[in-house]
Amino acid sequence: MKFPVSIHLEKIIEITCAKPVGNTDVEILGINEIHTVERGDISFVDHPKYYDKMLKSKASIILINTEDVSCPDGKLLLITDDPFAAYMKIVKYFAPFEPCSSSISPSASIGENTVIQPNCFVGNHVKIGNNCIIHSNVSIYDNVIIGDNVIIHSGCILGADAFYFQKKKGLYRKFESCGNVIIEDNVEIGALCTIDRGVSNDTFIGSGTKFDNHVQVGHDTRIGRNCLIGCHCSIAGVTIIEDDVLVWAEVCINKDLVVGRGATILATSGVSKSVPAGATYFGIPAADAAKKWRELAALKNLPETMRKLNL
């Protein structure tokens, strides 16, 4: 999440009660997790295993729970006993929950010739382009951005919080979401689909992409242009699906991987590793489809082979 303007360090210290060490003149432009962090961002680390990775990241301001590390040149460390809690305080301060008292928020922007059917909810600061059709019982959470000529079928939910928690002392602490959902032009989203907003960045659906019914897209995932996503697909967070990808029905795609441009994933597959561009994958775990079919054929013939070998 980027701040509207650069934030003074004094305000961050007021919110977190953290002790500054390092470059106190650093420019504070936003707040982000490690996987999307940029120069000017605040991020956090609270486990020695990840200290080095965070200190070497692009983050300019790092909430950390130790002084026993060297502050890299140009960066600022903010020392606090609980970096996660301090980070959440910043999120809640700059992206607080904003109640809405009407089904279509007065702050929403709706383009020309766009039709919104009965029983929809359109939240605060939502932007919907021209010539869209939003069918009944769709919920669009705050700040979602939708392009032109988009069709969203009944029962969809856009912009719900990320399913993202930190386990601490046997309890789960919610990682508050401050990212967004961005839908480009000419997208069609089937009935009963859910697209979660990013934790600290945007979940993105590229122009011309089409969803069948019952598709789940996790936080911070980016789906490219002109993709087809079949029914009952689940796409985990922080995944990149490049342009012109075909994903058929009942496919599960794990987090933090890339499906290359023009790839095809056949139905009922479980994708646990990145898929090369142009490849066709199948199976659980998914692999090159031709190889997978040969493996299945060999498995089918295994009893007869064992009989011939007296095994």
Among residues 108, 101, 136, 137, the alpha carbon closest in space to that of 122 is found at: 108
Residues 39/10, Cβ–Cβ less than 8 Å: no
CA 222 to CA 255: how far, in whole Å? 11
End-to-end CA distance of the chain: 62
Give the span between the Cα atoms of 147 and 125, in whole angstroms: 14
The two tokens of residue 103 are 């089904």
3-state class (DSSP) for residue 297 = helix
Point out which residues pair with 246 in neighbouring strands: 228, 264
- Beta-strand pair 19-22/76-79: antiparallel
CB 198, CB 177: distance < 8 Å: yes
- Kindly report the backbone phi and psi dihedral angles of residue 110, in degrees, each rounded to the nearest multiple of 5, phi listed first: -125, 125
Q: Which residues are catalytic?
A: 219
